[in-house]
Amino acid sequence: MSMRGAGRVLRLRPSRAWATVYPRSFSTAGARFQDGKSAAEERTTHFGFQNITESMKESKVREVFDSVAKNYDTMNDVMSFGIHRLWKDQFVQQLNPGKKSIFSEPMTILDLAGGTGDIAFRMLNHARTVNGDSETRVKVVDINEEMLKEGVKRAHALGYRTEGEDAPISFMVQNGETLEAIPDNSIDLLTIAFGIRNFTDKEKALSTAHRVLKKGGVFACLEFSKVNNFILDQIYRRYSFSVIPMMGQLIAGDRDSYQYLFPSQKDFAGMIRDAGFQLAGKGWQDLTFGVAAVHTGVKL
């Protein structure tokens, strides 16, 4: 898109002066279609309730997750009443990582926005225990080094090597939108759990995912979503827009990282298709009435 480069200006401003409180605005799309004018109309993106410039978001995300890295797991438990563990279990079980027959190659899995490795460890465990495959490897990629450091600690505690070509699990700082260090057509399965909402440019992240996947490779995304039950939706809205940020404040000492907006399941499925994937079935599966959803696309 033509205005993208021109629109990106990194400016330092006093902490929060730039943040307009602008509830429920999906500004990315709007900004893209009005063609580039002046620097004042620089491209903005939503970051929870705050509208900020895209360039700021990246550093903002990093900042936010630095502040929660240590408390992250507690926070997640509280946010989802611990259900996120079940969702993650189901997510991994369904993807069924690991080679299925002696004629198959072990898989190379990339866990994007992998944080402290919650998904990655489940993958390794599933490949080993369910499919008897101890060769399948996971690369955990995150923009935030602090999160990854926690992950390395956990890996060592679990007895996994993290260094060397053939390490079962490795950790790498990368921006998920570009994945510069990951070659084209090199990944069997790319997962992202509770991460896509933080991405400044979701379309770019999706096309990058498409680039790094092999032919036949699978993109799978677990994320909070739109509840499809009216009553639950009312409750959940209150919860996610007031309770979650409040608890974020109390427990992780950071309110901003827990204010999120996300496109509907159908819209997100459309974005996945637009990135060149074929959808699995209708493209997503709701978990717990759509409080979370798994989206799946395949590169064919």
Partner 1 sequence: MASKTLHRTVRQGLLGYSSRWKLSPTGRLLKNDLTNSRSNHGQSATASGTPYTPEQSAILSAALSHVPTQGFSDSTLLMGVKDAGYLDVTMNLFPQGPFAIVNYHLVTQRERLSEYANSDEWKDLQASNQKFGTTDKIRALCVERLRQNKAIIHRWPEAITLMKYPANIQSSTSELFNLADTMWNIAGDTTVDVSWYTKRGILSGIYAATEIYMTQDKSDRFTNTWAFLDQRLADSKSVGSTVGRVGQYLDYAGHNIVNVLRSKGMKI
Hunting for tokens 């994007």 — which residue is that?
Answer: 112
What does 7 interact with, of ligand SAM, partner 1, none (CB < 5 to 8 A by kind)? none
Give burial (CB, 10 Å; 0-12/13-18/19+) of 284.
buried
CB contact at 8 A, 111 and 117: yes
| Interaction mask 167-196, partner 1, x per CB under 8 A | ---------------------xx-------
How many Å apart are CA 282 and CA 264, to the nearest integer?
13
Provide the 3-class DSSP secondary structure of residue 172. Answer: strand
Of 94, 82, 72, 83, whose CA–CA distance to 195 is shortest? 72
What does 175 interact with, of partner 1, ligand SAM, none (CB < 5 to 8 A by kind)? ligand SAM
Helix (H) or strand (E) holding 90: helix 83-95
Least Cβ distance, residue 296 to partner 1 (angstroms) = 6
**Per CB under 8 A, 70 contacts partner 1:** no
Q: What angle do CA 254, 202, 214 make, to 5 degrees?
A: 120
Q: Which residues within the stretch 20-49 sit at the binding site for partner 1 (CB under 8 A)?
A: none
Residue-level length of the chain: 300
Q: Which residues within the stretch 221-280 sit at the binding site for partner 1 (CB under 8 A)?
A: 273, 278-280
The residue count for binding ligand SAM (CB under 6 A) is: 19
7 annotated to bind ligand? no
Q: Binding residue for ligand SAM (CB under 6 A) from 31, 52, 113, 209?
A: 113
The contact set with partner 1 (CB under 8 A) reads 94-97, 99-101, 103-105, 107, 188-189, 214-218, 220, 273, 278-283, 285, 296, 298, 300
By the criterion CB under 6 A, which residues form the site for ligand SAM? 61, 65, 113-115, 118-119, 142-144, 147, 175-177, 193-195, 198-199
